[in-house]
Chain A
Amino acid sequence: MISREAVEAISARTGEPVWMREQRLAAWGVYESLPLPDPTQEEWRRTDISGLRLDALRALVDGTGPVAAALPPRAAALAGGEERAGLLVQRDGRTVQHVLDEAAQRQGVLFLDLDQAVRQAPDLVREHFLSVIRPDELKFRALHAALRTGGTFLYVPPGVEVTLPLVTSTWLNTPGAGLFPHTLLVAGEGSKVTFLDVFGSDGMSRQTVVSNAAELILRDGAQVRYVAFQDWGANVWEFGLIRARLGRDAALHSLIVAFGGSLVKTDIESKLEGPGSQSEMLGLYFGDGTQHFDFHTLQEHLAPHTLSDLLYKGAVKDRARTVFAGLIRVHPGGQKTNAFQSNRNLILNTGAKSDSIPKLEIMANDLRCTHGSATSRLNDEHLFYLMSRGLTRRQAVQMVVDGFFAEVFDRVPLPRLGEQMQQEIGRKIAEL
C-alpha cells in the first residue's frame, strides 16, 4: 500500500541524495493534508472521481519481476517505428532498455532515467525538478512528488540540435499499482529537440492509478516538439499534468494523444513568459466504451508579442464522454498577443457525449484572440457518398473520422506516429 514507509523505501532503493528524499517526504505530508478535489469545484464538476480508492493502491517499491524480462509486444509497438536518436523503455517505473545515439552523446545531450540523472547530474536536476510544478497544487501532484519512480530527464545543451526524435516508452504492468512517471525536459538556449512520451498498459483487473507530470522548460530561443501519446488499458485512471515554461522567442509544438484508460484527467498548460514565445497546442482523443476523458488546457500569456495556437479534436462513441475546458489568460504584460483556441468534437452515436467549455481571462487591451468550439455528428451525406463508391459503412466511417483528424495529423511531421494514430482509430471504429 502507499504510505510514508513506501516513500522512504523508494527513496532508499534509488539511492538518491538527501534533498530529494526530503522533498519526497514533504510532499507526502502535503498529500496527507490535502483533501481530494472538491466535486462542486468548476474544474472537477464534470469528472466524477468518487470511485477512486487511493488508499488501496500498491506502491511500486520493488518493481516487478526481473527487469530484463521481455515487454509485451504492444509495449514494443507503442515505442513506435519512428526513426530516433534515443530510446528509454521503462516498466513500472524501472528502466528496461536505454539507448542514445553517439552523436547526441557527443553533443552533450543527457537522456536518462530520472533516478539515474539524480545521481549523474544532480545539480541540473535539482535546479529544474519541481520548478514548474508544485506538490501543493493538488493532492495528485503531491502524491506524484512523493512516490515518483523512474521518469525521463532530457537535457539539451544550448545551441544543440537533435534532429531525430527521442522516445520514452512507459509501460504499466501491475494491476492495482500507483505509477508516478515524471518527465523533466530542459532545452537550453537556441537548442532544438523532438521528444515522444509514450504511455501504455494492458487492461487491468482492478483500478490502477497513474499520476504523471511533465515539466518542459524552454530557454530563450529553444524549439521543442513534445508528443504525449497514451494508450492505457481498461481500469487505468490517469491524473496528469503537462506544463511548459517558455523563454524569449522559444517555440513549443505539443501534441497530446489520448486513446486509453477508464478515466483520464489531464491538464496541459503553456506559460508564455518570454516575449515573442510561441506555443502550438494540439490534441487528439477518441473515447469509446465507457471511457471518460477530461482535458483542461491553459494558454497563459505573461509577456508581449506571444502567440498560442490551440487545436483539440476528439471523437466519441458508445457511451464515452469527453470534456474539453480551455482557458486563455492574458496578463497585463501580455500586450500584442495572439491567442487562438479551437475545439472540435465528433459524436459517432447517440449516447456518447462531448462537452466543450472555452474561457477567456483578458487583462491586456491590445491583442488578438479567437476561440471556438463545435460538436457535430457523423454526416450521413458524407457516408452515403463514400458508400455509393463501394466502401462499406465501416470503411466510410473510418475515412470520415480520419478526415476529421487530418487537420491535426497534417500539422505533425511524424509519419509513423500518424500511422499509429490511424491504426488505433481504426481499431476503435471496428467495434462500431
Chain B
Amino acid sequence: MDLEIRDLHVQVEEKVILKGVNLTVNKGEVHALMGPNGSGKSTLANVLMGNPFYQVMQGDVLYKGEDLLAMAPDERARKGLFIAFQYPVAIPGVTMASFLRTAVSARRGYSKELIPVGEFQKILRAKIEELKMDPAITGRYINEGFSGGEKKRAEILQMALLEPEIAIMDETDSGLDIDSVKIVADGVNRMFDAAKGQMGILVITHYSRVLHYIKPDYVHVIFDGRLVVSGGAELAEELERSGYEGIKSQVDVIHSEVAASGAVRRAGKVFWVVH
C-alpha cells in the first residue's frame, strides 16, 4: 500500500476536525474525496503534507511503508507526495522560475547544484504549453497578483513538474470556469496516463463536476471529520442528484443510534464505526 491513513484524529488549535479517518490510496488509482464545507477535506490534505498548523492527536499514516507523520514536509515532497493547494500563498519577491527550478532539483535529487538551466527550461516550456498557460508566468512572483484560475493552474504546473507518486488535489476545481476545469483535468489525466500506474491521485472536491473529467475509481464521502461512505464512481452521480442532504439525514439517524448503543451501525449506504 502506498498511502495508508489509519484512524487519523487531527485538531486545529482547540478544535477537533478529523475524528478517525481511514483511507488507502495506491499508485495507479484515482480516488475522490467529497464532502460539504467544513467536513475536514482540506485538513486531511494539509495534515498529509505536514502543515505545522495542524496537530495530529491520534492515528498513523504510512507512506510506502514509512511513517509519514515523522517526516518534515520537504522530505515528504522529495519522496513523491504532492498537494495542489486550495489557497496557495503568494510569496513576494520570489520568481516562479527560480522557485520551480529549485523544487524540480530537490525532487530529482540534485543536492548541491541545481538542475542545469537549459534542461529545466525545456521541461518547463513543455509543461506550460500543455496547460495552456502564459509563459510570462515564470517571471512573476509566486502567486502574487495571480487570478484564482492562474493560481490553480500554477499548482497543476507544479504537479506536472514534480511528477509525484501520490498527488492530492485540494478543491483544484473550485473557482475555475468550465474551460479551465477541462484544461486542468486534461493535464492531470495526461500525467496519470504517462505515469503508467506509478501515480495515485486523491481528488478532493465539493462538487462532482470535475469528476466528469477525472474519472475516479473510488469515491469517499467525508462528514464531520469521518469518512461515512465509500463506493465507486456511481456514488458521485448519486450525490450530484441528491446533494449532501440525503447522506446527512442517514448520518443523523446513525449518530443517534450510536450514541444510544455504541455499536457499529449502517443506514442505507452510510456506516459508522465507533473507535
Give the interface of A toward B (CB within 8 A).
379-382, 384-393, 395-396, 399-400, 402-407
Contact = CB atoms under 8 A, between A and B. Distances in A.
Interface in B47-70: 49-53
A387 to B, nearest CB: 4
A389 B99 contact: yes
Contacts of A381: 53, 89
A387 B93 contact: no
Q: Which of B77, B98, B158, B162 is packed against the most chain A CB atoms within 10 Å?
A: B77
A382 B89 contact: yes
B83 A386 contact: no
A402 B77 contact: no
Given A392-B106, A395-B102, A403-B141, A387 B92 contact: no
Contacts of A384: 49-53, 73
Contacts of B74: 387-388, 390-393, 396
Contacts of A387: 50, 72-74, 77
Contacts of A393: 72, 74
B78 interface: yes
Contacts, number: 83
Nearest to B49: A388
B231 to A, nearest CB: 30
Contacts of A396: 74
B10 to A, nearest CB: 16
A405 B93 CA distance: 7
B88 interface: yes
B218 interface: no
B49 A386 contact: no
Contacts of B89: 379, 381-382, 385
A382 B91 contact: yes
B103 interface: yes
B83 A388 contact: yes
Interface in B76-98: 76-78, 83, 85, 88-89, 91-94, 98
B139 to A, nearest CB: 12
Contacts of B85: 385, 388
Nearest to A389: B103
A281 B85 CA distance: 39
Contacts of B107: 389-390
A405 B141 CA distance: 13
A429 to B, nearest CB: 14
Given A385-B85, A389-B158, A393-B74, A403 B106 contact: no
A389 B72 CA distance: 11
Complex A-B, nearest 8 residue pairs according to Cβ-Cβ distance, in ascending order: A403-B93, A406-B93, A390-B106, A403-B94, A389-B103, A390-B77, A387-B73, A387-B74
Contacts of A388: 49-51, 73-74, 76-77, 83, 85
A312 to B, nearest CB: 16
Contacts of A389: 77, 99, 103, 106-107, 158, 162
A391 B102 CA distance: 7
Given A385-B88, A389-B162, A402 B94 contact: yes
A389 B159 CA distance: 9
23 contacts: A384-B49, A384-B53, A385-B142, A387-B77, A388-B50, A388-B76, A388-B85, A389-B99, A389-B158, A389-B162, A390-B107, A391-B103, A391-B106, A392-B106, A395-B102, A395-B106, A399-B94, A400-B94, A403-B93, A404-B93, A405-B93, A406-B92, A406-B93
A390 B102 CA distance: 8
Q: Which of A380, A382, A385, A400 is packed against the most chain B CB atoms within 10 Å?
A: A385
A135 to B, nearest CB: 42
A425 B211 CA distance: 47
Interface string B150-193: 00000000100010000000000000000000000000000000
Q: Which of B141, B142, B162 is packed against the most chain A CB atoms within 10 Å?
A: B142
A14 to B, nearest CB: 46
Given A388-B51, A404-B92, 16 more contacts: A380-B52, A380-B53, A385-B85, A385-B89, A388-B74, A388-B76, A388-B77, A390-B103, A391-B74, A395-B106, A399-B98, A399-B99, A402-B93, A403-B91, A403-B94, A406-B141
A345 to B, nearest CB: 15
